[in-house]
Amino acid sequence: MQTMGAASLPSCLSYQDNRLMMGELSIKAIAEQQATPFYLYSADAIRQRIHDCLSAFSPVGVAVHFAVKSNSNLSVLRLMGSAGLGADIVSGGELTRVLKAGIDPGQVIFSGVAKTDAELRQAVEAGVGQFNVESAEELFRIDRITGQLGVQVNAVLRVNPEVDAGTHDHITTGKKGNKFGIAFQRLSELFCMAGEMPQVNLRGLAMHIGSQIVSIEPYRESVLRMRQWTEQLRAEGYLLDTLDLGGGIGVDYGDGRSLCFVEYANLINEALGGLDISIQLEPGRSLVAAAGVLVTTVVATKQAEPRNFVMLDAGMNDLIRPALYQATHPLIPVLLSNQRLEEPLDVVGPICESTDCFLKDYTLPLPEEGDLMVLTMTGAYSAVLSSTYNSRPLVAEVMLEHTNIRVIRKAWTLEEQLRLEE
Ligand code: LLP
């Protein structure tokens, strides 16, 4: 059984006179202007996280590239760009977004496990700063495309460090058998091959061992391995001046477990001291997760055994993380009431799937039809993962900046969706 106490509320939320506030505005007032469900982000909270991240990592010489996949809304990307962050992208679509948001292509890292020729060409032409190469085959394709276009590019090899990040199986990427990265046994061979590619400037190594990592140990293990392989390749005569450590920093989804920027920065300082190398990070979730909520309305309650149901107007098409990764997003009321008794409930959505369940056996004062609620910690991998399943249009995204409310993505209409079909 779980519940979220006020003590563990994300810092952009608070209760004042029993009303849930984001910053200085009551969420009820915001919901009067926007139909639920909708995503609501705090620009101030994102800025604060960027500031915390840069204050931890800049002193140890780390350049921060926001992982666009975690939240690719143009307004979020503009916030990142204006704070001086680069971007980590995984597709041509994400490249188009970051360029539109005004991020310098030279500050863009192109990750992505199966980049198409068209995407590679788009990125080379745009002047993307670095290609994180996932295989020998991709290296050959980059060589061919840069040769055709007559352009030089920077690249690093993404290594599979064979470290278990201890996260949910669906979001671990650095174990043997995962589709990502190159086996460390092949690094030397690939550096040798790149020596014959005049347009490909192979400058170092990259890793990304998984996401939502809450223990420093897997990082310690893999960063030390990256150091060892860098030194080995240098000893073989190759020039390496770049090390990309990927993303993965975990946040607190209500169980009190997270990884703090400063702890990771200290580890980098310790483990890579004296290596004389440019270090990059690609955090996504840790910059935006806590700054977002999904505002939703209780459509119905239903008496049942063994527990009563609370049925929301948001479904797994709007927020799939609980169904896909058994993730928890704490649910809290927009108006607190002392009158209602707490009881364990199952909180579900309206989709015709049993996996459309946000929280099971979750203790909450029983809400009533029409009550506004929010699912917290939904700034990352939430709106970006939504779908139109059950012919439900994508919901709006709203950004709160001080007391200014801006719709940063309109809700889709059904007409707009149907227009694309015959
Ligand atoms: N760099 C690379 C190469 C990545 O693949 C990822 C995330 C990141 C950086 C950013 O990782 P972060 O700092 O956000 O943990 N949809 C899943 C998470 C998938 C993460 C995929 N890669 C979820 O909702 O938990």
Catalytic residue among 12, 53, 260, 352: 352
- Assess contact for 218 and 209: CB atoms under 8 A: yes
Residue whose CA is closest, atom 23 of ligand 1?
A: 381
Confidence band of 6 (pLDDT split at 50, 70, 90): very low
Partners of residue 406 on adjacent β-strands? 399
Tell whether ligand 1 has an atom less than 6 A from the beta carbon of residue 247: yes
- Phi and psi, residue 202, nearest 5°: -85, 115
Residue whose CA is closest, atom 19 of ligand 1?
A: 171
Which amino acid is located at 199 in the chain?
Q
Mean pLDDT of 315-339: 95
Mean pLDDT of 276-297: 98
Residue with tokens 């860098």: 230
Tell whether ligand 1 has an atom less than 6 A from the beta carbon of residue 86: no
* Ligand 1 midpoint to CA 147 (Å): 32
pLDDT of the residue at 304: 95
Report the nearest atom of ligand 1 relative to the CA of 283: 13
Residue whose CA is closest, atom 20 of ligand 1?
A: 211
pLDDT of the residue at 123: 98
Instruction: List the single range of 70-74, 178-182, 267-271 with lowest mean pLDDT.
Output: 178-182
Cβ atoms < 10 Å from Cβ of 55:
12
* Ligand 1 midpoint to CA 29 (Å): 33
Q: What is the largest CA-CA distance in the chain?
A: 75
| DSSP structure class, residue 210 | B
* Ligand 1 midpoint to CA 368 (Å): 36
Report the nearest atom of ligand 1 relative to the CA of 112: 3
> Which of 136, 278, 178, 159 lies closest to 228, judged by CA?
159
Which amino acid is located at 276 in the chain?
D
pLDDT of the residue at 3: 54
Residue whose CA is closest, atom 16 of ligand 1?
A: 381
pLDDT of the residue at 175: 72
Could you tell me the sign of the dihedral formed by the alpha carbons of 269, 270, 273, 278, in that order? negative
Could you tell me the sign of the dihedral formed by the alpha carbons of 235, 239, 241, 242, in that order? negative
* Ligand 1 midpoint to CA 335 (Å): 34
Reply yes or no on whether the pLDDT at 179 is more than 90: no
Tell whether ligand 1 has an atom less than 6 A from the beta carbon of residue 378: no
Tell whether ligand 1 has an atom less than 6 A from the beta carbon of residue 167: no
Tell me the domains of the chain and their CATH numbers. Answer: 2-42+290-419 (2.40.37.10), 111-283 (3.20.20.10)
pLDDT tens for each residue of 371-390: 999 999 999 999 999 999 99
Whole-model pTM? 0.97
DSSP E strands in 266-395: the ranges are: 278-281, 292-302, 308-312, 331-333, 342-348, 357-365, 372-376
Mean pLDDT of 173-199: 90
Tell whether ligand 1 has an atom less than 6 A from the beta carbon of residue 296: no
* Ligand 1 midpoint to CA 167 (Å): 12
Compute the distance between CA of residue 369 and CA of residue 309 in angstroms, rounded to an integer.
12
Tell whether ligand 1 has an atom less than 6 A from the beta carbon of residue 70: yes
pLDDT tens for each residue of 28-56: 999 999 999 999 999 999 999 999 999 99
Catalytic site includes residue 53: no
Tell whether ligand 1 has an atom less than 6 A from the beta carbon of residue 379: no
Reply yes or no on whether the pLDDT at 4 is more than 60: no
Reply yes or no on whether the pLDDT at 2 is more than 70: no
Confidence band of 338 (pLDDT split at 50, 70, 90): confident
If you average pLDDT over every residue of the chain, what do you get? 95
Reply yes or no on whether the pLDDT at 86 is more than 90: yes
pLDDT tens for each residue of 91-106: 999 999 999 999 999 9
Q: Is 117 exposed, middle or buried (0-12, 13-18, 19+ CB in 10 A)?
A: exposed
> Which of 186, 184, 108, 118 lies closest to 153, judged by CA?
108
pLDDT of the residue at 273: 94
Report the nearest atom of ligand 1 relative to the CA of 212: 15
pLDDT tens for each residue of 121-150: 999 999 999 999 999 999 999 999 999 999
